[in-house]
Structure 1
């Protein structure tokens, strides 16, 4: 009888040991799985956005006819016979977007909130190959220089910026930015189907 009790005790201890081992095994395995799962943080979200920064920008193409005119002056009086001018056509493209480094990103258990800085002009480039000169002066007293073309380009870019405001392109760029970021994160590994995305602009 004593041997039987000892045998039963042995079996019980063995079974308990096996159960403990099983729990420990699956506990460690589950912990390792969780550890191996990608962790979503502010940094990973920002990296996702940076990797697709071209998709977040809004492009605005324009074609213009511009005229530049200038005369030599003395005390704000134009000197006769020194007028110079040129008329040309050109095309350009504006890229509007946001400075992602200024974005505030918050990641909670099931939500990613992004507050963006205002939309700004990232680039405004005139395509040099598109430039065609239709008329220009040949004044020996005041010849056209490369600086005149540079000044003309600066003036025209300012006019384009005013056009962006008048046509509410900045508002269009805001909507495009929100939609692009939301769709981008909704298909990103480790984020899709796990987080709600909320994108806004700072006041």
Structure 2
């Protein structure tokens, strides 16, 4: 009978040790913060890759007027012109592949590339021609429309820059990165731009 009690006590002590070891493992693994390196933070952020953060919508009217000349003299009956209304958009954003990251215990420093125009599109389905000449001596060509719209895109891009599209993209990028890094448990975050 003494052997049975001694065996039960040994079994009880073994089970108590296993239970204590299990509690210690759970306690230490749940309270320890995951260790991040610059490359692990980079991998989490770079999944975004190139992201457009701000969109600027625009509508415009482009006029085109041209005629053939000889020297400084306009040749009669060679005038060609058109007037086209269009809609488009410009997207500003950041290429997240070019991020530099440094990790120091509870602090992370993230250096982002400067924002840039990612996309500038005139919606071809929105084009409406209000006026165009039909001149047999100097007909309108597709290149005339293309050249006029290319110049309009450049003009609209400049307007979007002046209205702060890149500043808004910079602000959105900093906010997005800040949120992601806080979720990783960092206490101090330094975000700057190249």
What is the TM-score normalised by the length of structure 2? 0.73
8 Å Cα contact 1:82-1:142 kept in structure 2: yes
Gaps of 5+ in 2: 1-13
Secondary structure at the counterpart of residue 125 of structure 2: strand
Corresponding residue number in structure 1 for 2:182? 186
> Which is worse superposed, 79-88 or 149-158?
79-88
Paired with 2:177 and 2:52, the residues of 1 have a C-alpha distance of: 7
Q: Aligned-pair distance for 1:110? A: 1.4
Task: Specify which of 86, 102, 109 is matched with residue 90 of structure 1.
Answer: 86
Question: Within 5 Å, which residues of 2 pair with 1:140-151?
Answer: 140-151=136-147
Judging changes above 3 Å, is the alpha-carbon distance between structure 1 residues 55 and 119 closer, same or farther for their aligned structure 2 residues?
closer
**What is the number of equivalent residue pairs in this alignment?**
174
Paired with 1:85 and 1:102, the residues of 2 have a C-alpha distance of: 45
Question: Within 5 Å, which residues of 2 pair with 1:94-173?
Answer: 94-173=90-169
Task: Specify which of 48, 59, 65 is matched with residue 44 of structure 2.
Answer: 48
CA deviations on 1:61-97 (whole Å, 9 max, x unpaired) are: 1111111222234457543322211111111111111
Judging changes above 3 Å, is the alpha-carbon distance between structure 1 residues 112 and 145 closer, same or farther for their aligned structure 2 residues?
same
Judging changes above 3 Å, is the alpha-carbon distance between structure 1 residues 56 and 127 closer, same or farther for their aligned structure 2 residues?
closer
8 Å Cα contact 1:46-1:100 kept in structure 2: no
Paired with 1:43 and 1:56, the residues of 2 have a C-alpha distance of: 23
Secondary structure at the counterpart of residue 90 of structure 2: strand
8 Å Cα contact 1:59-1:94 kept in structure 2: yes
Paired with 1:42 and 1:177, the residues of 2 have a C-alpha distance of: 18
Paired with 2:92 and 2:132, the residues of 1 have a C-alpha distance of: 33
Two-structure CA RMSD over aligned residues (Å):
3.3
Gaps of 5+ in 1: 1-17
Task: Specify which of 167, 189, 194 is matched with residue 197 of structure 1.
Answer: 189
> Which is worse superposed, 118-127 or 79-88?
79-88
Corresponding residue number in structure 1 for 2:57? 61
What is the TM-score normalised by the length of structure 1? 0.70
